Structure 1
Amino acid sequence: MTNLNFKQLDKLFRNNDFPNIENDIRGIRFLKLRSMSRKETMEEFCTLHAVNIVGIKLKDYFEAVFENMKVTDDQINDYINSKYRQERVERIRNQDYLVDQLNRLQLFDWGGSFGNSLEKNIINNYVKKIQSFDKINEEIEGSLLSSMRGYTLNSWYNHWTSIIIEDLFKDHDSVLPTVGLVKKIDFFVNDIPFDLKVTYFPEQLLADKLRDCGYGNELTMLKKTCRILNIFIPNDLNPRDLKLHLLNKMLEDQRPVAKQFVKELRDEKRKIIADAENSPVELKKWFYENQGEARFDASNRFFLVLTDETDMASSWKLKRNIVFLQEKIHEHLDNLAMDIDSLDTEFYWAQGQKTYNCKSDILFLKYGE
């Protein structure tokens, strides 16, 4: 363990070097205070604990409190918990209304090719391609409006469900929240900082595993079975949408061949996910190694993997199933023996050609088992 001063720890933080911060005697203290480093928060804390900051510049409050050895870790923890409880009261009061609103979303569709950049796609796919004034107005009222609506609704849904799920973690006794926003940290579990990632079992990894176990390509198998059953296969859909379309047809078909196909595919997927749950190291590495360059980081992560085993395409709905989520999350945290070594994760990021070390935990929430 190192024993760095404030400026050394601050430099590590700005360089996103969290492993070396955590390896410092006062590293976790630094991160907790970093989350409460706003002016109002620092002044309130100092007043509460009679910490003299008279004559100290605002930008130096954080360092002054950090280096003040009369400020104990228990005082920091108690203050953070009290601030969270104050904020939580209002969100609890509003939670039933919010969950009801979230349940009104019936279709989770990003609306085409927008991805993560609305402006880029509007410029590339509409502004630079269409010369006709009438045509671009038709697109604005038609496909563009539909795409923007889907993108906005999905973003809205993900934002508010993320807040609810974070609160379910922070409500647990073993979890310490952050007071304000601090990059790459949503909460601490037994003094280990984590960035929460609510996600699903990766489609690409599932496809690779289906191929490796001898099942083959899911879309190819769907087409083959549809031909056997004389089910029409359209040619105007992209592969992902076509797969969902044909699978829905198969789910509704009551003939024995269709039922058998659906059962075998579901059983294969369940086995793959169960194997990953029993031995999660590969999946955790996969999540880290398949990050996009723009959002890459090697922070500690808590992966919450949601799966509706009766219909994987509906797994997004689990984000608003508060009773189910709370039960499973708290059960995991109740039983969590924080064995540091078991959390150690090493991965190689090919784009940066570098090996990283961090800590990660993973919880599989499977509905319809």
Structure 2
Amino acid sequence: MFKNLHREFENKATDLFELQTKDNFSRYLLIRSLDRDHLKELIEKHTGEEVNKGKFEDFYEKLFDSKITNEEIIEYIKTEYPKVKESRKEQEEYLPDIIKDFGEVKCGIRNDNLNDTAKELVRDKTIKDKNDLEEKIDDLLENRIKGYLLWQYYNQVTNDLIEHIFNDHPNVIPTLRKIKFVDFLVQKGDKIIPFDLKITHISDDYFDLHKKGIIDSPEESHDSFSIEDNPSEQEIIKEKYKEYKRDLDLPNYGGLSKIEMLEILAEQNDELKNFVEDITKERNKMIEEIEENLLPVEWWNYKFQGERLFKNNNRFFVFLAFKNSFEDARPLKGRLELIEEKVKEKLDSIIKDDINTIKYYYSKDRGLEGAYKINSVSILVTE
């Protein structure tokens, strides 16, 4: 039993939904969340066998096959977690102050792939001479790569601090040792459900689809939702920009983002300023609609996830969005008190509330293409 579960968990790292239905998978997850010293202590207590050497897999199996109950493991985890938390907190002493006034954070590197960014530079045929090359390298280092490193640091630090909010909640079973793609566990009935914590801003691309219209798909569909054909937010803004481009001698819109087009339009005249105010109100209205039903944005984040980091694992999403701004909402990730309030409210009810089941067909990578199902939960943090 253990060997089969262990092999399937290791081999199906991108797809947990089917594995969750297997007998004793809850027990397997609980044991996987224990560190070596914890495993040794429990093995000796419940089998009488003293163990000092061996692979993690051997320790897992010995405890799995012992007479210890799942409830005893959970009780042990909750007893030991304060010591683990104290150790982690000591290492994080300075982190809250560092991120408090961190300033602007932009990722700037698609799919976290620095290699692709380097390729863009080395294949740039517009470079005229060595000085031009060095200037472009300096610009890349000072702007995109520096920004990327700052974002990675900010992202990791805020993740670590927000994880404490989850692990401290009584309805959460924390992990004493990191499990890949699992940040915390929740017990519902006799099932232990693993969750991967994902904290992310709502993408401009999602707002475009929301404006086009997202409707429930037929029951037999591979996707929970489908997209209607109304004008997207981007199309509405671009159409207005094109309408006035020639008369007002506006810059070409080809490389402009939504927020850049809106900033240019707002500076022109009262009519266009009113248009920008109206489209901002529409964005606010969309956020209100999204908060009432977060299922579509959960679906979008599975269906359109990047192929390099694709995983079909249960996720607890913390979505971030500004109500009256088109700016990227990443800075909200540092608003720990605001996030804590929303997280606690959701975790208070997670035991009795239904957990969502998302269906989606993934087609961004031929090797991963197919129909998937998975569980998800989410909250929306706005300001």
Q: Same fold (TM over 0.5)?
A: yes
Contact 1:34 1:182 (C-alpha < 8 Å) held by counterparts: yes
Name the structure 2 match of 1:345.
358
Of 297, 306, 309 in structure 2, the residue corresponding to residue 295 of structure 1 is 309
Within 2, Cα distance between the matches of 1:118 and 1:78? 44
Within 1, Cα distance between the matches of 2:131 and 2:110? 22
Of 361, 364, 369 in structure 1, the residue corresponding to residue 380 of structure 2 is 364
Q: Partner amino acid for 1:347?
A: Y
Q: Does 1:223 align with 2:241?
A: yes
Give CA-to-partner distance per residue, 1:238-283, whole Å, 9 cap, x none.
Answer: 232xx323434567x6975455323321222233233333333332
Q: Does 1:42 align with 2:39?
A: yes
Relative to structure 1, is the Cα distance of residues 255 and 77 closer, same or farther in structure 2, using a 3 angstrom cutoff?
A: farther
Relative to structure 1, is the Cα distance of residues 26 and 317 closer, same or farther in structure 2, using a 3 angstrom cutoff?
A: same
Give CA-to-partner distance per residue, 1:49-108, whole Å, 9 cap, x none.
Answer: 675244874341110001102x22233223323443223235556768423211333222
Of 24, 27, 32 in structure 2, the residue corresponding to residue 26 of structure 1 is 24
Name the structure 2 match of 1:238.
255
Within 1, Cα distance between the matches of 2:241 and 2:253? 14
Name the structure 2 match of 1:81.
78
User: What secondary structure, in the 3-state scheme, does the structure 2 residue paired with 1:32 have?
Assistant: helix
Shift of 1:228: 11
Within 1, Cα distance between the matches of 2:141 and 2:254? 18
Q: Partner amino acid for 2:298?
A: K
Contact 2:283 2:324 (C-alpha < 8 Å) held by counterparts: no
Kindly report which structure 2 residues correspond to 1:1-369, keeping only aligned pairs within 5 A, or say none: 5-16=1-12, 17-36=15-34, 38-47=35-44, 51-54=48-51, 57-58=54-55, 59-69=57-67, 71-92=68-89, 97-111=94-108, 115-126=111-122, 132-190=129-187, 191-212=192-213, 217-220=235-238, 223=241, 233-235=250-252, 238-240=255-257, 243-248=258-263, 256-257=270-271, 260-340=274-354, 342-350=355-363, 351=366, 352-367=368-383
Q: Partner amino acid for 1:269?
A: R
User: What secondary structure, in the 3-state scheme, does the structure 2 residue paired with 1:19 have?
Assistant: coil
Contact 1:233 1:246 (C-alpha < 8 Å) held by counterparts: no
Moved more, 286-295 or 91-100: 91-100
Relative to structure 1, is the Cα distance of residues 318 and 9 closer, same or farther in structure 2, using a 3 angstrom cutoff?
A: same
Relative to structure 1, is the Cα distance of residues 303 and 222 closer, same or farther in structure 2, using a 3 angstrom cutoff?
A: farther
Within 1, Cα distance between the matches of 2:247 and 2:298? 39
Q: Partner amino acid for 1:68?
A: S
Moved more, 85-94 or 154-163: 85-94
After superposition, the CA RMSD in angstroms is: 3.2
User: What secondary structure, in the 3-state scheme, does the structure 2 residue paired with 1:331 have?
Assistant: helix
Shift of 1:336: 2.9
Within 2, Cα distance between the matches of 1:55 and 1:98? 36
The two structures have a TM-score, normalised by structure 2, of 0.80
Aligned residues: 355
User: What secondary structure, in the 3-state scheme, does the structure 2 residue paired with 1:313 have?
Assistant: coil
Within 1, Cα distance between the matches of 2:37 and 2:124? 47
Unaligned runs of 5+ in 2: 214-229
Give CA-to-partner distance per residue, 1:156-183, whole Å, 9 cap, x none.
Answer: 1111111112211111110111122212
User: What secondary structure, in the 3-state scheme, does the structure 1 residue paired with 2:26 have?
Assistant: helix
Moved more, 130-139 or 317-326: 130-139
User: What secondary structure, in the 3-state scheme, does the structure 1 residue paired with 2:17 have?
Assistant: helix
User: What secondary structure, in the 3-state scheme, does the structure 1 residue paired with 2:103 have?
Assistant: coil
**Percentage of matched positions with identical amino acids:** 26
Q: Partner amino acid for 2:325?
A: D
Shift of 1:349: 1.5
Unaligned runs of 5+ in 1: none
Relative to structure 1, is the Cα distance of residues 215 and 15 closer, same or farther in structure 2, using a 3 angstrom cutoff?
A: closer
Within 2, Cα distance between the matches of 1:67 and 1:302? 31
Shift of 1:114: 5.8
Within 2, Cα distance between the matches of 1:55 and 1:150? 46
User: What secondary structure, in the 3-state scheme, does the structure 2 residue paired with 1:364 have?
Assistant: strand
Q: Partner amino acid for 1:201?
A: I
Moved more, 210-219 or 183-192: 210-219
User: What secondary structure, in the 3-state scheme, does the structure 2 residue paired with 1:239 have?
Assistant: coil
Within 1, Cα distance between the matches of 2:52 and 2:333? 48
Contact 2:201 2:328 (C-alpha < 8 Å) held by counterparts: no
